[in-house]
Amino acid sequence: MNDIVLLDLASKNRTIFTSAYYQHDKGLKIRLLNVPDFHTLLLQIELCNVGDKKIKYTLPYLGEDVEIPEDLLTSGRNILIYLYVKGEDWGKTIFEVVLNVSRRPSR
């Protein structure tokens, strides 16, 4: 099973729709490719489910794969992933990903 969601920041598309994963999958990780050097800026990965009113998780990107929290998958709703660059007094979303989650019966 492919447990890595590859996100290539060199893509000209700023919104990406990925292939389906299943509601009860576990250990799914995000891997960023071609990450620019942001010098003193912070790159954050923000995650929530489609329909949420607020971001559920904000994780700093430290150059390694980032695990998608399991509760985002088990909800059965698609996952939204935002890559956000944060400066001292400003911030900008540079990438948006819609991760399709297919519902399935529990075991």
Note the pLDDT of residue 52.
Answer: 97
Per-residue pLDDT of 38-69, as tens digits, reads 788 899 999 999 999 999 999 999 999 999 99
| Domains, the chain, ordered by start | 4-102 (2.60.40)
C-alpha 22/C-alpha 14 separation (Å) is 24
Mean pLDDT (the chain) is 89
Using one digit for the tens of pLDDT, what is the confidence trace for 85-107? 998 899 999 999 999 998 877 76
- pLDDT at site 39: 80
- Is residue 84's pLDDT more than 60? yes
> What are the strands, taking DSSP E only, across 3-78?
4-8, 15-22, 29-33, 42-49, 57-60, 66-67
The stretch 3-22 carries a mean pLDDT of 81
pLDDT at 31: 92
pLDDT in tens, 13-33: 778 777 778 888 888 999 999
